[in-house]
Amino acid sequence: MSHTVAVINLDLPGATISRHVYGHFAEHLGRCIYGGFWVGEDSDVPNEGGIRLDVVEALRELQIPNLRWPGGCFADDYHWRDGVGPREQRPRMVNSHWGDVVEDNSFGTHEFMALCELLGADPYISGNVGSGSVQEMSEWIEYLTRADDSPMAALRRANGRDEPWKVPFFGIGNEAWGCGGHLRAEQFASLARQYSTYVRNHAGNEVYRIAAGASDHDYHWTETLMKSFDPLDAGNGPAAPFQGISLHYYTFTGEWSDKGWATEFSTDEWYLALARAAHMDELLDRHGAVMDRYDPKKRVGLVVDEWGTWWNVEKGTNPGFLYQQNTLRDALVASLHFDAFHRHADRVVMANIAQTVNVLQAMLLTDPDTNALVRTPTFHVFAMNAGHHDAAALDVHLVDDVPTRSVDGGDLALVSASASTKGDTALVSLTNLDADAPRTVVLDLRGRDVVGHSARVLTADAANAHNTAERPDAVIPVALETVRKHDRGLEVELPAHSYATVELTLA
């Protein structure tokens, strides 16, 4: 069997991989909030204050660092005052973007903040620029974070919460080029400066403000936002009321109106999906290059706060609810994204997969009839990668025989890898994208002595294998036994269509 060599210098740590690139996204969309996170206090499903506990317990396994809410497109229709106070008195609203359904606002600010506390996750609030006002956004951050007897702090106390919360992340609008207002880049750049100014730091709460950024290849949008910064005379980089800008990119194999199916796909569609996922690396390179021209010291963060697969909805489900299954292919899409985020750890400060429960590339699926909870293959990639949280990135140089396949006008490397180190450990992530053939990877480990190792692998007999309530363990990680000592370090045999992690103990 031919093999690929991965050279890793264990003694040359790079930028820190922020744990926040393993962030999540919960929008008022389909059954993500209602039936996913929220079942209500009167539900037979075990809950705490209406929050579904089996979902919380599963996500705690992932050590999720942050949760983005309430959208998405929903954020720019959402008026936060409608979601506070006694639930029976909250006004109803139309969710015009997702299913055109009416919701009762029973899940609002207090419920979301309680959810974050149960999860141990930092809240990432998306503010309403599209249909909201500067005053509305300013009062929301005051309501959330101010400690004294200001008008909004007093209102919060009247609604049952005495102490302010910590809100480290606040989004200034969402997809302003589309559902967030159909604005031109120049229009939004001015609004981002204005709205960000009024998202103030109260009571010692330091807010990292994230302006709604580009979709896909819209480098003009990124450049326009970067040009809106005020240069500092001292040459320390740009200054503006916001500290980060976002990027959205989804993976699918068809056209926007027919994206392909989650569980029914050909071998060509397997490779096309993975090639499009691997394209994230180029997007980070090129958006990062634009940012570098204005911010060479990388003081402005890039936040990929929507990413993941987007397939046709499962047959027989509401097309506005975006419910899809999640296969081994989705898991490998995730592993490719994480490799890209690790390689760009000096610029990518946060990322949020879309979405956490029951929507798009979800971690968890809940059955509306039986209330069964299913962990998806993507869930397991997040769990296997926990060792990368806040670790120092290590360069991985793939040399010798790196197999490729011609896909979509380019060459797709069939082996992907990234690595990090923290203290006396290192974690190496390896993906074999070959649909049919195993692959041997030699880890050429340099700079530090390796005194122990363990490995796990995520794979299945079929590339479209997925977990269901009837077969919840069809795709789960197991010990990888095909790791052997090699003159250059370790030799790892990867099954076809697999993802593996190798944890190293260092002297």
CATH code, domain with 457: 2.60.40.1180
Question: What is the span of the domain harbouring residue 400?
Answer: 3-10+394-506
State whether 386 and 428 are in the same domain. no
- The active-site residue, picked from 103, 139, 175, 223, is 175
Q: What is the mean pLDDT of the chain?
A: 96
State whether 384 and 407 are in the same domain. no
- Residues of the chain above pLDDT 70, percent: 98
Q: What is the pLDDT of residues 209-258, one digit of tens each?
A: 999 999 999 999 999 999 998 765 345 555 678 999 999 999 999 999 99
186 is catalytic: no
State whether 140 and 73 are in the same domain. yes
Q: What is the pLDDT of residues 263-303, one digit of tens each?
A: 999 999 999 999 999 999 999 999 999 999 999 999 999 99
Name the DSSP class of 78. -
pTM for the structure as a whole: 0.96
Of 337, 362, 390, which residue is a domain's last? 390
Cα distances from 23 to residues 236, 372, 414, in angstroms, run 29, 24, 26
State whether 368 and 490 are in the same domain. no
CB contact burial 30-54 (16+ within 10 A = b; e otherwise)? bbbbbbbbbbbeeeeeebeebbbee
The total domain count for the chain is 2
| Residue with token string 């370790």 | 490
3-class state of residue 11 by DSSP: coil
State whether 370 and 428 are in the same domain. no
State whether 183 and 139 are in the same domain. yes
Residue 116 sits in a domain whose CATH number is: 3.20.20.80
Of 356, 373, 390, which residue is a domain's last? 390
Here the tokens at position 117 are 């506390």
State whether 398 and 498 are in the same domain. yes
State whether 285 and 406 are in the same domain. no
- Residues of the chain above pLDDT 90, percent: 94
State whether 187 and 66 are in the same domain. yes
306 is catalytic: yes
State whether 485 and 438 are in the same domain. yes
Here the tokens at position 185 are 């880049």
Q: Do the strands 101-103 and 93-95 form a parallel or antiparallel pair, or are they unpaired?
A: antiparallel
State whether 104 and 195 are in the same domain. yes
State whether 331 and 436 are in the same domain. no
Of 355, 390, 425, which residue is a domain's last? 390
- The active-site residue, picked from 27, 103, 306, 493, is 306
